Amino acid sequence: MRFFHVICIYALLASLSACAVSGASAGAQVSPQPQTYLENKGSDTIVNLALAWAEKYQELHPEVRISVTGGGSGTGITALINNTVDIANASRKIKAEEIEEARKKGIEPVEFTIARDAIAVIVHPGNPVERLTLQQISAIYTGEINNWSELGGEDRPIVRLSRETNSGTHVYFLEEVIRLGDKADKTIFSADTLLLPSSEGIIAEVSSNPNAIGYDGLGYITSHVKMLAVAGKNSQEYTLPSIESVNAGTYPISRDLYMYTNGQPKGIIQEYLDWIHSSEAQEIVRELGFVPILETSD
């Protein structure tokens, strides 16, 4: 047994050193090649998507290097205004004062919708509740409504599920649903909200627990749970989330995700943005739980 351990350790060491050696030689081979660098910075919501795109694109075009960093939509746009990035990512539209500031510095921000983000509210398939208003969902998550019978369902306690606080979806849900988009509102989740570390955890609990309500990015929802139709703040029209209703703008808990460039993009930046709108890149959007842009809506 002990002999086996020693062998294991040596094997591990050998493989580690092999990695180090191959890594070093790979670095040495790549560096003399001509390279084009793209700086891509901004929204933390988009950062994983932007990274996935950058990785795939670099595979297809080894001569392009894309560096992706997060920091928030505001950080990205500020960097664009200061002309330190080629592409800024933002999960909100650029503000009028930001455009003004950019123009003062001779920067002309051009907007591209690159994907959409929608949150589906889900319950157990056996739950008779079919639809909720945003206000009702907010009241559930702040702890004002605690029983499904208050919403026309069975007499069951409500178990609230949420993604962890580090997820962009969590923050979006907090701002747009719990606080109904009111910036001054400081309401937070009820303390007994279960914070689950993964989408799988939420789907697993909602699909097996008739008391549960949860939410997640539309792309993560499976057929084991039931999506609720949601009515917006000032409307009585309930809409079920789908790629079509999100693209049509009728589903209330959705937003567009943007990239901004300085002036109409040329050369490599233009090629990259064109590729992002291709079906290959939009497939990555779907894999990461966002909503792809439909060709027809553009």
Partner 1 sequence: MESKHPLEFLITWFIRLTGYSSIFFVVLILFFLVSEGLPALSEVSLDTLFSTRWYPIESYYGILPLILGSLVVTIGAMLIAVPFGIGTAVYLSEVARPMVREILKPLVEILAGLPSVMLGFLGIQVVSPFLREFLDLPTGLTAFAGSLLLGGIAIPTIVSIAEDAMNNVPQSYRQGALALGATRWQTMWGVTFPAARSGIITAIMLGLGRAIGETMTVMMVTGNAPIMPNSIRALFMPIRTMTATIASEMGEVAAGSIHYHVLFFIGIVLFLLALIVNITASWVSMRKQTHKERVLS
- Rule CB under 8 A: which residues touch partner 1? 156-159, 164-166, 171, 186, 188-189, 191-197, 201, 204-205, 208-209, 211-212
> Least separation, in Å, of the C-beta of 130 and partner 1?
22
Q: 165 or 270, CB closer to partner 1? A: 165
Q: 86 or 205, CB closer to partner 1? A: 205
> Least separation, in Å, of the C-beta of 223 and partner 1?
17
Q: 75 or 262, CB closer to partner 1? A: 75
> Least separation, in Å, of the C-beta of 224 and partner 1?
12
> Least separation, in Å, of the C-beta of 171 and partner 1?
7
DSSP annotation string for the chain: -HHHHHHHHHHHHHHHHHHHHHHHHHHHHHTTS--EEEEEEE-TTTHHHHHHHHHHHHHH-TTEEEEEE-S-HHHHHHHHHTT--SEEEESSPPPHHHHHHHHHTT--EEEEEEEEEEEEEEE-TT----EEEHHHHHHHHHTS--BGGGGTS-S-B-EEEEE-TTSHHHHHHIIIIISTT-TT------TT-EEESSHHHHHHHHHH-TTEEEEEEGGG--TTSEEPEEE-TT---EE---HHHHHHT-SSSEEEEEEEEESS--HHHHHHHHHHTSHHHHHHHHHTT-BPPPGGG-
Q: 178 or 293, CB closer to partner 1? A: 178
Q: 104 or 186, CB closer to partner 1? A: 186
> Least separation, in Å, of the C-beta of 68 and partner 1?
16
